[in-house]
Structure 1
Amino acid sequence: MTEMDAPLATPCNIQICDVTCDSFRIMWDMTPEDSGRSTHFFIDLSRKESRDPNRFKHRDVPTKLVAKAVPLPMAVRGHWFLSPRTEYCVAVQTAVRQPDGDYLVSEWSQVVEFCTGDYAMDHLQQLLDKAKGSAGRLLKFSVFYRNQHPEYFDYVSKECGGLMRPALKDISGSHGSPINGKLQGVFFSCSTEFDTGLPPKDSPYGPLRFQIPAGNLLNPNISLYFADFYCMYTAYHYVVLVLAPVGSEGDTFCRTRLPILDLASNPFLTYTAPQRPGEEPLFCHASDVILEVLFTDPVPLDQGSVEQIRGHHQLMSLTTANAKKDPSCKVCNISVGR
């Protein structure tokens, strides 16, 4: 048996490093002999939840990625459309391509599991650039509001000392948004009707509405961040913004993870300071997207008012709890996964 025909050792000690939302680097231990003669690596990658990992059916007929042997660690990107924050399983074989074109291959390594990361700042900047094109003209508004059922406000009054406390953001929207399942806040809306300039009469979230003057949540002591842009198989799009008091825990979380927006000059939500003594600040919101505004600190009920709203309260198609983003939409998707 020649050296080229000698069996290849099974790759061991698989290590994954430098994981991003759409790439990773992989390395493993090989004997010096195998390292010197390996010509190719076979990489088998599958989502963790898959019940059929679809390993190579034949040892010498690769059906997934075949990469030329390179010094390890090897970067893996672009070969698959990796999704952010998704658990994967990966295994490897080393191989020697023989003169007749067949491969001498090792046994499969053990299967290693890892999870891809959130969108990085440059990915969010791509998403922000797309969102800017859908924002539309700015409309004036004067209040932020939150629609809920009576049970919610009873609970806040009796059990929470009158404070609407931050809750963990769900996983709706873009899978890679860094705030999903990680940042706590209280959601508010600020959209107005074109004909009245007032909040809409209808709500999918409940018949009671808490309204608070816009300046209580949007002012020079607040940092404004862009967090997401998505749709749910519909013509309209959502933009998620974060309002965090400067220096707060929420502000610290967002500072290194989300693009910060200029309060006075951005296409989504603006605060313009009074120009003359006695004037009021001017607040504006984007007209062609649905804004979801997450305020990261508790909000006292006594800063606003709770009132019954007119209209219907079962527009469930507009609710977004844990909703999946449309992966086929060309308007709100970027190239690094869904």
Structure 2
Amino acid sequence: MQIHMNNHERMLKSLQMTEMDTPLSTPCNIQICEVTCDSFRIMWDMTPEDTARATHFFIDLSRKESRNPNRFKHRDVPTKLVAKAVQLPMAVRGHWFLSPQTEYCVAVQTAVRQPDGDYLVSEWSQVVEFSTGDYAMEHLQQLLDKAKGSAGRLLKLSVFYRNQHPDYFDFVRSECGGLMCPALKDCSGSHGSPINGKLHGVFFSCNTEFDTAYHYVVLVLAPIGSEGDTFCRTRLPMLDLASNPFLTYTDPQGPGEEPLYYHASDVILELLFTEPVHLDQGAVEQISGHHQLMSLTTANAKKDPSCKVCNISVGR
């Protein structure tokens, strides 16, 4: 009887060792869902045997290489995550400083932790690419609150201007019937802005002198009921044109009087108007002041991630 029990124990131990040594299958059919600016959920297919055995998941995440890297590149952080096996899909948030509107590559392994502390691991899955989303309204509100703190006193505004080369205005007259047509917003400013690469508009600058201004603020002006208005209502915080710290408007007080505009003095303020603007609504002439913005000087310019005024923390 004693011999029989020992043989049985040896058989059980042999079966256990065989099961532990059985290779794990490679995860397949990787799926990414519920993507936000700072999180995502991931799932993949495993055999029932591997699902029962797996104790841990290894996830390897990296930014997709860009041909035009941001010169203000964030410091790289460890890309591999070891997580205890959970029911899929698995939420990934906070383990990395995920950036919005950024392309990533991800691959996974399944693993079984063995008694000696080592891991039996599967082969890496195929690499899947995905892009994180735009800032949510709550993030934009945080940026707005920071911008309000930098706005400074209001100065009277005499002109909205487009500092373009004369050839641009000649082209508008000859080829566009005098209409300055909306163009697609570039990727400058906040990397997670929901208007980057999605909203069309005509840019105007407000400041003619800003020797000490450093921070940019972009306001979108969209007529009620317009396509731009519909786009922005669910994506951007709304400001009151009569009482906000960046740009105010007051109706003419009497016949022959002009409306009054005031702009924030301590930020570089730009206005994106979502409808065409005819040259006849203004004048093509030289304006006075120092450091007027050239329209292309800020094209696709990224803000400095070390600036505590212009950045918010997400995914932490």
TM-score between both structures, scaled by the size of structure 1: 0.79
Structure 1 residues 115 and 92: alpha-carbon distance in aligned structure 2, compared to 1, 3 A threshold:
same
Counterpart residue type for residue 91 of structure 1 = A
Structure 2: gaps (5+ residues): 1-16, 68-77
Decide whether the 8 Å contact of 1:141 with 1:192 is kept in 2. no
Give how far 1:188 is off: 0.5
What is the CA–CA distance in structure 2 between the aligned matches of 1:99 and 1:293, rounded to whole Å? 63
The question of 1:10 aligning with 2:18 is answered no
Structure 1 residues 83 and 305: alpha-carbon distance in aligned structure 2, compared to 1, 3 A threshold:
same
1:237 to 211, 215, 233: 215
1:258 is matched with 236
2:168 is matched with 152
Give how far 1:192 is off: 4.8
Structure 1 residues 85 and 315: alpha-carbon distance in aligned structure 2, compared to 1, 3 A threshold:
closer
The question of 1:296 aligning with 2:274 is answered yes
Q: Pick which of 150-159 and 321-330 moved more.
A: 321-330
What is the CA–CA distance in structure 1 between the aligned matches of 2:138 and 2:214, rounded to whole Å? 25
1:127 is matched with 143
Structure 1 residues 309 and 279: alpha-carbon distance in aligned structure 2, compared to 1, 3 A threshold:
closer
Give how far 1:272 is off: 3.1
Three-state SS of the structure 2 residue aligned to 1:307 is coil
What is the CA–CA distance in structure 1 between the aligned matches of 2:279 and 2:89, rounded to whole Å? 55
2:73 is matched with none
The question of 1:161 aligning with 2:177 is answered yes
What do the CA deviations read for 1:310-331 (whole angstroms, capped 9, x no partner)? 5788987992111121011111
Give how far 1:274 is off: 5.4
Q: Pick which of 185-194 and 123-132 moved more.
A: 185-194
The question of 1:185 aligning with 2:163 is answered no
2:9 is matched with none
What is the CA–CA distance in structure 1 between the aligned matches of 2:286 and 2:243, rounded to whole Å? 34
Decide whether the 8 Å contact of 2:24 with 2:122 is kept in 1. yes
Structure 1 residues 285 and 159: alpha-carbon distance in aligned structure 2, compared to 1, 3 A threshold:
same
Counterpart residue type for residue 96 of structure 1 = V
Greater strand proportion = 1
What is the CA–CA distance in structure 2 between the aligned matches of 1:94 and 1:286, rounded to whole Å? 55
What do the CA deviations read for 1:166-198 (whole angstroms, capped 9, x no partner)? 11111111111111111111111122559xxxx
What is the CA–CA distance in structure 2 between the aligned matches of 1:184 and 1:295, rounded to whole Å? 8
Once the two structures are superposed, the pairs formed by residues 306-325 of structure 1 within 5 Å of their partners are 306-309=284-287, 319-325=297-303
Greater helix proportion = 2
Structure 1 residues 10 and 120: alpha-carbon distance in aligned structure 2, compared to 1, 3 A threshold:
same
Give how far 1:269 is off: 1.0
Decide whether the 8 Å contact of 1:242 with 1:295 is kept in 2. yes
The question of 1:109 aligning with 2:125 is answered yes
1:118 is matched with 134
Q: Quote the sequence identity (%).
A: 89
Structure 1 residues 245 and 315: alpha-carbon distance in aligned structure 2, compared to 1, 3 A threshold:
closer
Structure 1 residues 63 and 278: alpha-carbon distance in aligned structure 2, compared to 1, 3 A threshold:
closer
What is the CA–CA distance in structure 2 between the aligned matches of 1:315 and 1:150, rounded to whole Å? 15
Question: Stretches of 4+ moved more than 6 A in 1?
Answer: 275-279, 311-318
Three-state SS of the structure 2 residue aligned to 1:240 is strand
2:52 is matched with 36
2:188 is matched with 172
Counterpart residue type for residue 298 of structure 1 = P
What is the CA–CA distance in structure 2 between the aligned matches of 1:316 and 1:110, rounded to whole Å? 46
What is the CA–CA distance in structure 2 between the aligned matches of 1:316 and 1:295, rounded to whole Å? 17
Give how far 1:308 is off: 2.6
Three-state SS of the structure 1 residue aligned to 2:50 is helix
Structure 1 residues 36 and 113: alpha-carbon distance in aligned structure 2, compared to 1, 3 A threshold:
same
2:103 is matched with 87
Structure 1: gaps (5+ residues): 52-61, 195-199, 201-233
Count of residues in correspondence between the two structures = 289
Give how far 1:285 is off: 0.9
Three-state SS of the structure 2 residue aligned to 1:131 is helix
Counterpart residue type for residue 110 of structure 2 = T
Counterpart residue type for residue 84 of structure 1 = P
Give how far 1:22 is off: 1.1
What is the CA–CA distance in structure 1 between the aligned matches of 2:123 and 2:156, rounded to whole Å? 66
Structure 1 residues 172 and 298: alpha-carbon distance in aligned structure 2, compared to 1, 3 A threshold:
same
Q: Pick which of 300-309 and 83-92 moved more.
A: 300-309
Counterpart residue type for residue 214 of structure 2 = Y
Decide whether the 8 Å contact of 1:45 with 1:90 is kept in 2. yes
